[in-house]
Amino acid sequence: LSGVLAIVPTRQAGRRLREALAEHAAARGAAVFPPRTQTPDTMLALGAEGPGVASRLEARLAWTDVLRAVDLAEVPDVLPVAPPARDFAWAWRLAASLGRLQTQLAEGGLAFADVARRAGEAFAEAERWRQLARLEARQVERLAELARSEPHAARRAFARAPAPPAGITRVVVLASPDPLALALD
């Protein structure tokens, strides 16, 4: 089974699978080369690692730069009220919120620009999402200036063209109810 990548719901499930296979083989006087195991999340993490992919800190700092530099008149639906102080602390907190939103959307294989496009023109929040998409594009540009790629975009790209680890000839999804849409891709 060494050529198999088993997608399991938790790391504990992977450990228990390996133990069960070892017990099964031992009861028959045999040995087993267990499959590699990963959770859907750790499998996706492969796409957000490696040279050139920004860390979470770098991505958040890029957001912070974008937020401190943006003209608030360009994003009235995102920031309808000017903050009392457009300082680093304000931008850092908002950057964390935007990063969490990117993560939630990335789980479904989406970027900010995809939301308004998928929802259509009748969507009441379409303009807000278009403004968020412009901000996200600036964050991606800021990271590109530093020769880094945005980690959520890297995960989406990995899901579109996955590269399984060396030696893997088969991927099996085991008892993983409702895995993330991006993991299924």
CA 70 from centroid of its chain's CA atoms: 25
CA atoms of 140 and 66, how far apart (whole Å): 10
CA atoms of 86 and 65, how far apart (whole Å): 11
Tell me, what's the pLDDT at 47? 65
Tell me, what's the pLDDT at 48? 67
DSSP state of 46: G
**36 pairs with which residues across the strands?**
5
Burial class (CB in 10 A: 0-12, 13-18, 19+), 183: buried
Tell me, what's the pLDDT at 155? 86
Q: Which residues of the chain have pLDDT under 70?
A: 46-48
**37 pairs with which residues across the strands?**
6
Query: Helix, strand or coil for residue 121?
Result: coil
Q: Are 115 and 129 in contact (CB under 8 A)?
A: yes
Q: Which two tokens stand for residue 182?
A: 């991006």
Residue matched to tokens 């750790």: 42
Tell me, what's the pLDDT at 60? 97
Strands of 35-114 (E only): list them.
Answer: 36-38
How many CB atoms are closer than 10 A to CB 12? Answer: 10
